[in-house]
A and B are shown apart, each in its own frame.
Chain A
Amino acid sequence: MGISFHGYPHSYIKDDIMKTENLLMRKTYSYKYLMPGLIIFVFLVILPAVGSFYYSVFNYNGLKVGEFVGLNNFKEIFTNSNVNICFKNTFIFSAVTLFLKVVLGLAFALLANTQIRTKGLFKSILFFPVILSSVAVGVSFTAILHPETGIVNIILRTVGLGALAHEWLTDPGIVMYSIAAVDVWKNVGFHMALFLAGLQIIPHDLYESAFIDGAGSVKKFIHITVPLLLPVINTNILFSIIGGMKVFDSVYVLTGGGPGNASQVINTIVLSNFAQMRYGEATAANVILFVMVMITILVLNKFLGMVEKEV
């Protein structure tokens, strides 16, 4: 049988070693599959992100790294004449799109979750804008919202509601709301899909029990649907807030930050700095945005998590 070790036969020790090796191999097996993607992620995302902290404290024109300037680039961002407008616009856009995407997304999901005959068509129509190119949507809505030749104002004037016709994309007072509306139109289908997935895993017998107990639609919604849908609501809120704070394509294609600087947001300021070869300052603006998004996610996650637990 072979030499024993502490009274155990050699074959048992060998078995144990093999079992440990198998266990280790199983544990590292999945990591081996992760490695290629992880390497790409590290080189294309993590390292550039870390590098951005470095470039944000230097004078850097994209071709040469100049002198170390400390927090000067950050100071330049906060003393930019458009900084108030861009933070205000980013906040307005995030708040408006958050509210509309969550409320409308849920409403459409509730409708799509009923037994209407055309629910398949309904879901397709609502989801279709999500897959369209942002550029195509922007160019189309630039024409649709034109104050003279745009179809929106033409219809309003034709039906006698000319007073409601506005310069949707050229009135500094309403331009951000117009952009938010276009963004909601484009992306509400995505939020509807998330809500729909959440609605479909709620057990039907809960609704049946509530019906037997005499609960109406509103009570069923408040006491069954909302509590069980909370994780999905929270996910939608987070997606919407992050998307709102990082907005760029909708603004850039529809107005370019205009008229003038009336619809500038943080990311259009970043682009403007890159275009003037102030790469250090542009990177500093990106770092500021990163910190803002991180803080928002952490705070929201904590708050929404507490709400979930309470419910």
Chain B
Amino acid sequence: MKRVVSIALCVMLAMSMLIPVSAATAKAPAKQKPVTLTAVMNTDYYKSGIIEVMKKLTKDTGITLKIEKIPSGEQCNLIVATKFATGNVPDVLFYYSDGAQFKPLGLENFVEQSGQPWMKNYDMNAWKAGMSLNGAFYAAPYWGQNVSGMLYNKKVFKNLGLKVPQSYTELVAACKKIRAAKIDPIFLSGKDGWTNMIYSWCTATQGLDFAVVNKINTNKSKYVDLKNLVGGLSQQLELMKKGYCNKNVLSATYDQAQKALATGTAAMYCMGTWVMTDIATKYPKEANDIGFFPVPYIGGGKDVVGSFTPNAIYVVRGPKQADAQRFVNYFESVPVQNTYFSVEGGIPTIKGVTKTKLTPAELEAKSYVDKGRASLVFSIGFKYGWGDYGALCQDVLAGTKTPLQAIQAADAEFQKNAKAAVPTDPNFK
């Protein structure tokens, strides 16, 4: 009997020693194997948000992200296209969300995102037009939603007793008064070609029916048929010719525009709200004096703001695509998005993000979106590129092309890109 009891006690003792081990084993998550992922990113995208996220990335996931920063603009397109053509692809690609840009890289190179955990917090219907291709989502949002319109220096307006113009006539009148006070009414950063596109994109967005986009995509219509596009480019030229812009427009840069707007040497700057991240960093006090209103084209309070889709992260097919997908799911999770947007401006597209760093201008822009006075900006949804539209806008400002000639040249580039598509587009034979 004593022997039986002592054996039973020993067995119980041994079993009791095992319990904490199994419990510990059950509770402790399996340690993620460290992995290094390569990423390619436009240098303009490498800002405070991603830097902050990367501080805890490795600790939380075991992933180290090695980012290769590449120049922006045409060079970015060229480098990315060359990498995919030569098979030297990264594991993660930070790129445009515009289908016309990433579709030529080959959809078979990317992992479709439907069904991924992060999409539960994503309004697919709202972003379908701008972020999906053929109904499939390849792009996860990077950076925030941005809105285009007219940023203005509130102090200048207040000092001159000006109200936010509601029509083009009122805008011209305001410009006249501002010029009389020896301040540049509207800053045009002509040297950086892409910045010249925004004004006509804003006007072209007014009353834009996306059926027109489909017609252009199937060669049933052309850009010259969009009166508000040609009209916007003509207005921009008119404002410059009337002397309501800065001197040496074609030498002025995007950086100079930020300084001019922040310091009040220029009253207005037509741009997307993404510029506020830079202005808030460089001129933190002055950033609070900047406001926002839609470019007054139609007038009567009917003008809408142009809403840009965020940029994108793509999971590239390859041996590390599972880890790359893990990174994307981590990045798009609400806690990480809170980390990102707490240091970086922009309106989050992931639902449930509460920590944002929106400047007054961005909040004013967001209010137009919330009121329903927003539409996807004109440039979204086209199947093919239309060449360097920024350079064509520069041609108009330089006087070497009329607005109509510039849009006709854009049409010609669109046709060329459509005809050069592989496989051939039957609508453009």
- Chain A residues with a Cβ under 8 A of chain B: 59-67, 72, 76, 80-82, 146-148, 167, 169-170, 172, 256-262, 271-272, 274-278, 280-281
Q: Among the listed B75, B248, B408, which residue makes an inter-chain contact with A170, where contact means beta carbons less than 8 Å apart? A: B248
Q: 10 tightest A-B contacts by CB?
A: A260-B395, A66-B422, A170-B250, A260-B394, A62-B85, A275-B74, A81-B409, A259-B250, A278-B420, A259-B398
A selection of 15 A-B contacts at a CB cut-off of 8 Å is A63-B104, A65-B422, A66-B420, A66-B422, A72-B419, A76-B419, A169-B251, A172-B398, A257-B391, A258-B394, A260-B394, A261-B391, A261-B400, A262-B395, A276-B413
Q: A59-B424, A172-B400 are in contact. Are A148 and B104 (CB under 8 A)?
A: no
Q: With both chains docked as a complex, state the minimum distance between the C-beta of B424 and any C-beta of chain A, in angstroms.
A: 6
**CB-defined contacts of A60 to chain B, threshold 8 Å:** 422
Alpha-carbon distance between A61 and B193 when the two chains are bound, in angstroms = 25
**CB-defined contacts of B85 to chain A, threshold 8 Å:** 62-63
**CB-defined contacts of B397 to chain A, threshold 8 Å:** 259-260
Residues B233-278 near A (CB distance < 8 A): 247-248, 250-251
Q: Contact check, A146 vs B251: say whether CB atoms are below 8 A apart.
A: yes
**CB-defined contacts of A276 to chain B, threshold 8 Å:** 77, 385, 387, 413, 416-417
Q: With both chains docked as a complex, state the minimum distance between the C-beta of A63 and any C-beta of chain B, in angstroms.
A: 5
Residues B375-429 near A (CB distance < 8 A): 385, 387-388, 391-401, 405, 408-409, 412-413, 416-417, 419-424
Alpha-carbon distance between A76 and B428 when the two chains are bound, in angstroms = 14
B106 contacts A by Cβ under 8 Å: yes
B136 contacts A by Cβ under 8 Å: no
Known: A147-B251, A275-B77. 8 other contacts (CB 8 A): A59-B420, A61-B104, A62-B84, A258-B394, A260-B397, A260-B401, A261-B394, A277-B77
Q: Contact check, B421 vs A274: say whether CB atoms are below 8 A apart.
A: no
Q: Contact check, A172 vs B104: say whether CB atoms are below 8 A apart.
A: no
Q: Contact check, A59 vs B422: say whether CB atoms are below 8 A apart.
A: yes
Q: With both chains docked as a complex, state the minimum distance between the C-beta of B71 and any C-beta of chain A, in angstroms.
A: 12
Q: A76-B416, A278-B420 are in contact. Are A259 and B104 (CB under 8 A)?
A: no
- Smallest Cβ-Cβ distance to B79: which chain A residue: A275
Alpha-carbon distance between A67 and B77 when the two chains are bound, in angstroms = 23
Q: Contact check, A277 vs B104: say whether CB atoms are below 8 A apart.
A: yes
Q: Contact check, B422 vs A61: say whether CB atoms are below 8 A apart.
A: yes
Q: Contact check, A63 vs B106: say whether CB atoms are below 8 A apart.
A: yes
**CB-defined contacts of B408 to chain A, threshold 8 Å:** 81
- Smallest Cβ-Cβ distance to B78: which chain A residue: A275
B82 contacts A by Cβ under 8 Å: yes
Alpha-carbon distance between A63 and B86 when the two chains are bound, in angstroms = 8
**CB-defined contacts of A67 to chain B, threshold 8 Å:** 424
Q: Contact check, A281 vs B190: say whether CB atoms are below 8 A apart.
A: no
**CB-defined contacts of A260 to chain B, threshold 8 Å:** 193, 391-398, 400-401
- Smallest Cβ-Cβ distance to A67: which chain B residue: B424
Alpha-carbon distance between A64 and B104 when the two chains are bound, in angstroms = 10
B69 contacts A by Cβ under 8 Å: no
Q: Among the listed B385, B391, B401, B423, which residue makes an inter-chain contact with A66, where contact means beta carbons less than 8 Å apart? A: B423
**CB-defined contacts of A262 to chain B, threshold 8 Å:** 395, 398, 400
- Smallest Cβ-Cβ distance to A169: which chain B residue: B251
Q: Among the listed A62, A258, A281, which residue makes an inter-chain contact with B391, where contact means beta carbons less than 8 Å apart? A: A258
Q: Contact check, A148 vs B248: say whether CB atoms are below 8 A apart.
A: yes
Q: Contact check, B399 vs A172: say whether CB atoms are below 8 A apart.
A: yes
Q: A63-B106, A259-B190, A262-B398 are in contact. Are A170 and B78 (CB under 8 A)?
A: no
Q: Which of A60, A62, A257 has the most CB of B within 10 A?
A: A62
Q: Contact check, A277 vs B400: say whether CB atoms are below 8 A apart.
A: no
Alpha-carbon distance between A128 and B190 when the two chains are bound, in angstroms = 34
- Smallest Cβ-Cβ distance to A281: which chain B residue: B420
B37 contacts A by Cβ under 8 Å: no
Q: With both chains docked as a complex, state the minimum distance between the C-beta of B83 and any C-beta of chain A, in angstroms.
A: 10
Alpha-carbon distance between A70 and B403 when the two chains are bound, in angstroms = 34
Q: Which of B191, B405, B420 has the most CB of A within 10 A?
A: B420
Q: Contact check, B388 vs A272: say whether CB atoms are below 8 A apart.
A: yes
Alpha-carbon distance between A80 and B248 when the two chains are bound, in angstroms = 29
Q: With both chains docked as a complex, state the minimum distance between the C-beta of B272 and any C-beta of chain A, in angstroms.
A: 22
Alpha-carbon distance between A271 and B81 when the two chains are bound, in angstroms = 13
**CB-defined contacts of A82 to chain B, threshold 8 Å:** 409
Alpha-carbon distance between A277 and B388 when the two chains are bound, in angstroms = 13
Q: With both chains docked as a complex, state the minimum distance between the C-beta of A81 and any C-beta of chain B, in angstroms.
A: 5
- Smallest Cβ-Cβ distance to A62: which chain B residue: B85
